[in-house]
Amino acid sequence: MQNGSNNNLQETLQSARKSLRISQLELASRMGVSQRHVSFVESGRSQPSRELLLAWLHELQAPLALRNVALQQAGFAPVYRGSELSDAVLAPVREALARLLQAQDPMPAMVLDAGWNVLQMNRGARWLATTLMPWVAELPEGQPINMLDAMLHPEGMTRHISNLAEVAPALLAHLRDDASVVPEMLPRVEQLAQQLQQRLGSSAMKLWPRQMAPVLTTRFNTVHGELAFFSMFSTFGTPQDITLASLRVEHVFAADEATRAVIAAQLA
């Protein structure tokens, strides 16, 4: 049983290092150990101490949930807890998120978790969601929206994107990166990839990365005319809780004056 755990630890550490695209030598240099020791741990010939393993995972920028998994694979107790966002201990966090969303209004903003579930939305985000996907307004009260499911939906948001050939490859790259941390997303991500390839053709999907503007703008055809947006993300700086580490706030900004005017008129 221990051998199986060791094998899992080897795979976890190797996969995390390779995803960061660094060599054993570079990792060893960062941690102040020999490359030989890194090689021995990754091959299962040596067992890391708890302190070394924590430092190792920190250097690999491993998600907190993965750090807990690796600790357990090595026979140690997990370090990081995972609270529910509704827990009393996270009340200050909920208040901070609410204030952040309110400050963004009327421009859209939403809180997403690692699985692309929308946990909170401001007024602008609700307006944009129902403008692009009217069926969202018919969802039961409190039912969360998953943005990946919304993209896969026959009447989903991607059907309104007028510059889909420009946006789709970058979007898929982002989704695949996230699926490397949340593997259960991968089947739906690849399903979306197939849908986009059917619409755009395989040649269009292979042209990325291409020469692009500094900020990727997404353009939507709507009943209010074409609306253009770009996004920024906020995350917690030093999260010590798995839930907080998985959260991010997407801030959506108007990319032109016409879009800004429509939102101002609709949400005045």
Look at residues 222, 210, 215, 211 and name the one whose alpha carbon lies nearest to residue 255. Answer: 215
User: Do the beta carbons of residue 109 and residue 118 sit within 8 Å?
Assistant: no
- Which is nearest to 115 in space by CA: 139, 136, 146, 84? 146
Q: What is the pLDDT of residues 138-178, one digit of tens each?
A: 888 778 899 999 999 999 999 999 999 989 988 998 898 88
Q: Which of 40-49, 200-209, 226-235 has the lowest mean pLDDT?
A: 200-209
In this predicted model, what pLDDT tens digit does every residue of 90-101 receive, in sequence order? 899 999 999 999
State if pTM tops 0.85.
no
Is the pLDDT reported for residue 103 higher than 70? yes
The pLDDT confidence band at residue 6, using thresholds 50, 70 and 90, is: low
pLDDT confidence band for 84 (50 / 70 / 90)? confident
Strand arrangement of the beta sheet that strand 248-254 belongs to: 145-146, 117-121, 109-112, 248-254, 225-234, 218-222
**pLDDT for residue 123:** 95
Our CA angle for 68, 69, 74, nearest 5°, is 100
The band of 190, judged by pLDDT with boundaries at 50, 70 and 90, is very high
Please give the domain boundaries of the chain with CATH numbers for all domains: 2-73 (1.10.260.40), 88-266 (3.30.450)
pLDDT band, very low/low/confident/very high, at 7 (cuts 50, 70, 90): low
Pairing status of strand 145-146 against strand 117-121: antiparallel
pLDDT over 60 (residue 82) = yes
Q: What is residue 128's predicted lDDT score, i.e. its pLDDT?
A: 96
Per-residue pLDDT band at 1 (split at 50, 70, 90): very low
Which has more confidence, 128 or 64? 128
Question: Which H, E and C letters describe the chain, residue by residue?
Answer: CHHHHHHHHHHHHHHHHHHCCCCHHHHHHHHCCCHHHHHHHHHCCCCCCHHHHHHHHHHCCCCHHHHHHHHHHCCCCCCCECCCCCCHHHHHHHHHHHHHHHHHCCCCEEEECCCCEEEEECHHHHHHHHHHCHHHHHCCCCCCEEHHHHHHCCCCHHHHECCHHHHHHHHHHHHHHHHCCCHHHHHHHHHHHHHHHHHHCHHHHCCCCCCCCCCCCEEEEECCEEEEEEEEEECCCCCCEHHHHHCEEEEEEECCHHHHHHHHHHCC
Q: Is the pLDDT of residue 215 over 90?
A: no
- Give per-residue pLDDT as tens, 18-53: 888 899 999 999 999 999 999 999 999 999 999 999
What is the percentage of the chain residues whose pLDDT exceeds 90?
63
